[in-house]
Structure 1
Amino acid sequence: MSLIKKFATVASGTLMSRAFGFIREMLMAAAIGTGPIADAFYAAFQFPNTFRRLFAEGAFNAAFVPLFAKEIEANGTEGAKRFSEEVFGVLFTALLALTIVMELAMPLLVRFVIAPGFADDAQKYDLTVALATIMFPYLICMSLAAMMSGMLNSLRRYFAAAIAPVFLNFILIGVLANAWHKGHDGLTVGYALSWGVLAAGLVQLAIVWIAVRHAGISIGFRRPRLTPNVKRLLILALPAAITGGITQINQLIGTAIASGQNSAVSSLALADRVYQLPLGVVGVAVAIVLLPELARALKSGNLNEASNLQNRSVEFTLFLTLPATAALLVMSEPIVRVLYERGQFAATNSTPTVAAILAIFGLGLPAFVLIKAFTPGYFAREDTRTPMIFAAISVAVNIAVALTLFPEMGAPGIAVASAIAGWVNAAMLFGVLIRRGHWGTDIPLLTRIPRLVLAAVVMGFALYFAIQWLAPYLASSSPVYTQAATLAVLVGVGTLIYFIVAFGTGGADIGMLRRSIKRGQKKVENRD
């Protein structure tokens, strides 16, 4: 199986999740808008979600996967099973203790960490505490599910782990449909969504648990012990958790700062959902697939293969991300209007603010995706300390810029801070990879990048003028189906223009890309 096919397998599941995520957010925007209930829900949900990505996805995709892959190579399935059970016992015990502490401390956490700006509004503060208390056990389910997903990815069984997140959206869409059918008020919807998040965590854990059993590994519970393998995992996991969750750390900081302004938290969350589509489909897919493949190449001493994997991954991410950046810059307002402008969202006139945030996030999108492509170059070499240092610098930059811009710009200022921090982090990761000799010079990549940028710029200008021409069909006064159809035409035309310019200038050559990846993968596949 070529690297592109593996990217496509993961990306298809992620794309499905993001697509249903759009439907979920559209329904939520209509049901609760960007008012106090929406602010409370998004702030409460971001807390366990951030911990999940810090201690689960970030740590296990960075630390667990290389160690698990090493156990498979050295000791076969039995050795990998033993290692997994050791980790499972420690992880479950630690998560249970963390959840109990966090539940008891939730009022203080909301007041001083999650949303300090809510402290002056007793109703919003109490609601955030209640919703966060309901949702925080979601962390246990998703952290264990992330471990199972890491095992599946190491075994090259990508689909179950990629498709499991879809069920969060299925369940929340069901909750919202039921609320609409029964005419529930906003407060009831907020509580129902919180219980739905917890139920979704249980369902997602069950899916990957079953998939791991089908892969031939049945995990039992072992008394938690700090074995040498577990100690090594913990040493790698702490910095990896911080590094892998840097985007979420910056979002959590942004949420805390934004809580000082009404509707800012929910506006950031709604814009985040849109740009997470290309970030999730491209960036996450590349990071998930590249890490175990890169770890295998390095363990076998095949440095040429490792270099080829890294360069092709960057080429693939930029090929798909640059047009998304251009589109978000020029089409943010029509996108937000079509997706969200109805019900409570329309009543609060939130479109200009959310559109401005989305356009700024678009500027940071290539950086966020490149971080996903660069960090496996460190993690596969079991270096999680260097990316952690860069992540800490990025957080400091984010805080400084956000605190400076928020008083004048409001929520868009937080988006600017996030984008700047992302580019700083990406630049540092890439620079050190080159300095250490871990990134081989690739002339085809260097010649294609400017051409891909040119193709994205041409597409952006074409879309800008097309939007001016089609403005009457995209206006709020037009029926939503007319707006949606016009937006779909713009997306199709923009995609066509980008492909024509990219392929015409030599910025993209899918046939050559596939052949080079298959050549780089041939030795790995022969060993499987």
Structure 2
Amino acid sequence: MNLVKAGGTIGGLTLVSRILGFVREMVFARVMGASAAADVFYFAFMLPNQLRRLLGEGSFSQGFVPLFARRIGEDGDLTDAKRFAEEVQAVFLPVLFVITAAFMVAMPLVVATVGAGWQDDPGKTQFAIDLTRITFPYLIFIAMVSLFSGILNSLTRFTAAAFAPALLNVALVGALLLYEQGGETTARAMAWAVLIGGVFQLWLTWHATRRAGLKLRFLPPRMTPRVKELLILMVPATIAAGGYYISQLFYAYFATRLPEGSFVFLQQADRLNQLPLALIGSAIGVAILPAISRHIGQEKHRQAANVQGRAIELAMLLTIPATVALVVVGGPVMTVIFEGGRFTEADAAMSGLVLSLLVIGLPAYVAIKVLAPGFFARKDMKTPAIITLVTLAIGVGINFAFIEEMGIVILPISTALAAWLNAISLYVLLHARGHFRVEGWLGRRLIKQLFCAAAMAAILYLLMGVFDDWFAAGAGRRIVAMGALVGAGAIVYFTLAWTIGAMAKDDILILLRKKKVSESPQ
């Protein structure tokens, strides 16, 4: 498998969606500010969206893709794989309707539990119930997107699945532009736009699946042995692959106990954190899972380890500088992107602080995405799930212990700490079982990448002093200053990385389409 090309395709199209997401957040901040209505919309969107992430990027994808890929014939015959997908669809769709209906009925209890801090404000609580009832059916559409995306990814057709999230952002930006008065009216319009965006995404992936030659029939729901196998894999995979997203549900619980606007600050920081996580971690994780599954199925364990090693190298090459840059310039980044309109300088500063703390765990979040497929491909969902539960419990315990004393900052700190404990535990177990280890070539490259990132950090600190006044000026000067920081940091890091061998130079040639890829390390 062309790992760099596949990861580049997924990452590139995901970048389009993320850029639209930033446009959405920029407009949202200026229209809504750090207001009560903004907090409620983020809450209403968060509940179905986190379940979507668990189903799409966690349990379903990690369980379905290996099983579907193994049913593709050596000659590319899709007959058995198609039948398996139809059996899954027949059970999956009714279950989604039941889950959604149950949540719609129980929404007052759900909001009272997750948003416990708002119980003293009946108006805010009721508005949260109303908006969440509008957004929650989004789960049906986007979970079905995960089914069609899993099929497309197994067939190494990554384009439609990677681009689909962009359609949600188009719908949300449209709502903001049509209802720019702010407050509850705009929040309600955006809630309906979430639902419309889900319809758009489902149509795109369904159409792409049909073009790939798979026209799934609607069968009566039946619990076949193959569906049972998937369900057995899904439960622990939900926990194993979705630890970060499960932690976001606890964010909601704690954020409602904090001052107004805390939800906004946390969601904005998460948006920046999600950019490299989606572009790098999720993209590479999606790309390598089918390859590792096929290698293991063919008893080619060395090749499976090579795929994972190269994935770690490529992921850290991009993640380490992103982490260092966001830690150093998190405040200015939030100022440039969000400050303006109803979003004040103090709001931007608080968002920047949360971001700088949250991204400390970014390399760990990405490493989890790359290491977990080493378990999933072997149908071992329980081990990563247990690790995630333990580390999640540690993080939640820290929040309970320090939320009153430290306020909002303890949430990103505990999340980052839990992620590092999770990633380290995954690697230690893979190493102990003989499935994967950091070999000498990989260790040397990671050390060189850290050195390059340290040099970049020094340059960024120097330039921060030079451009300090620019970030307090108008939008034009702020954009120029940020462009100078980003440009200088990228030039220093990648030039030094190329010079001292911190990257596989062949990967750059592959991205430029001047050389074919190999799965072996350089």
Alignment of 1:158 with 2:155, yes or no, is no
Partner of 2:418: 421
The Cα shift of 1:519 comes to 2.8
Partner of 2:490: 495
- Aligned positions of 1:451-470 closer than 5 A: 451-470=448-467
C-alpha separation in 2, matches of 1:521 and 1:299:
19
Partner of 1:285: 283
* Amino acid of the structure 2 residue aligned with 1:95: L
- Aligned positions of 1:83-98 closer than 5 A: 83-98=84-99
C-alpha separation in 1, matches of 2:413 and 2:509:
36
* Amino acid of the structure 2 residue aligned with 1:489: A
Alignment of 1:382 with 2:379, yes or no, is yes
Distance 1:34 1:517, change over 3 A: farther
Partner of 2:23: 23
Q: Is the 8 A contact 1:66 1:380 kept in 2?
A: yes
The Cα shift of 1:276 comes to 1.0
C-alpha separation in 2, matches of 1:30 and 1:514:
41
**Could you give the per-residue CA deviations for residues 276-333 of structure 1, whole angstroms, max 9, x where no partner exists?**
1111100110111010111111112212211110000000010000001111111011
SS in 2 for 1:66: helix
C-alpha separation in 2, matches of 1:330 and 1:37:
31
Partner of 1:258: 255
What are structure 2's unaligned runs of at least 5 residues? none
The Cα shift of 1:76 comes to 2.9
Identity of aligned residues (%): 37
SS in 2 for 1:343: coil
C-alpha separation in 2, matches of 1:298 and 1:513:
28
The Cα shift of 1:505 comes to 2.3
- Aligned positions of 1:469-484 closer than 5 A: 469-475=466-472, 478-484=473-479
* Amino acid of the structure 2 residue aligned with 1:168: L
- Aligned positions of 1:95-494 closer than 5 A: 95-112=96-113, 114-180=114-180, 184-261=181-258, 262-346=260-344, 349-475=346-472, 478-494=473-489
C-alpha separation in 2, matches of 1:512 and 1:346:
43
Distance 1:329 1:441, change over 3 A: closer
C-alpha separation in 2, matches of 1:324 and 1:47:
28
C-alpha separation in 2, matches of 1:498 and 1:409:
35
* Amino acid of the structure 2 residue aligned with 1:98: I
C-alpha separation in 1, matches of 2:388 and 2:437:
24
Q: Is the 8 A contact 2:55 2:146 kept in 1?
A: no
SS in 2 for 1:429: helix
**Could you give the per-residue CA deviations for residues 482-508 of structure 1, whole angstroms, max 9, x where no partner exists?**
101110111000000111222222212
Q: Is the 8 A contact 1:2 1:514 kept in 2?
A: no
Distance 1:65 1:521, change over 3 A: farther
* Amino acid of the structure 2 residue aligned with 1:436: R
Question: How many pairs are equivalent?
Answer: 515
C-alpha separation in 1, matches of 2:294 and 2:390:
30
Partner of 1:511: 506
Distance 1:402 1:517, change over 3 A: farther
Q: Give the structure-1-normalised TM-score.
A: 0.95
Q: Is the 8 A contact 1:57 1:143 kept in 2?
A: no
C-alpha separation in 2, matches of 1:409 and 1:329:
19
Q: Is the 8 A contact 2:456 2:492 kept in 1?
A: yes
Distance 1:485 1:420, change over 3 A: same
Distance 1:497 1:221, change over 3 A: same
Q: Is the 8 A contact 1:405 1:414 kept in 2?
A: no
C-alpha separation in 1, matches of 2:499 and 2:56:
43
Deviates more, 1:253-262 or 1:94-103: 253-262
Q: Is the 8 A contact 2:25 2:268 kept in 1?
A: yes
Q: Is the 8 A contact 2:306 2:520 kept in 1?
A: no
Distance 1:512 1:173, change over 3 A: closer
* Amino acid of the structure 2 residue aligned with 1:487: M
* Amino acid of the structure 2 residue aligned with 1:291: L
Deviates more, 1:398-407 or 1:323-332: 398-407
Distance 1:367 1:336, change over 3 A: same
Q: Give the structure-2-normalised TM-score.
A: 0.96
- Aligned positions of 1:42-121 closer than 5 A: 42-73=42-73, 76-112=77-113, 114-121=114-121
* Amino acid of the structure 1 residue aligned with 2:123: Q
- Aligned positions of 1:31-46 closer than 5 A: 31-46=31-46
The Cα shift of 1:337 comes to 0.4
C-alpha separation in 1, matches of 2:292 and 2:49:
28
The Cα shift of 1:246 comes to 1.1
The Cα shift of 1:442 comes to 2.0
* Amino acid of the structure 1 residue aligned with 2:155: L
Q: Is the 8 A contact 1:3 1:517 kept in 2?
A: no
C-alpha separation in 1, matches of 2:119 and 2:185:
22
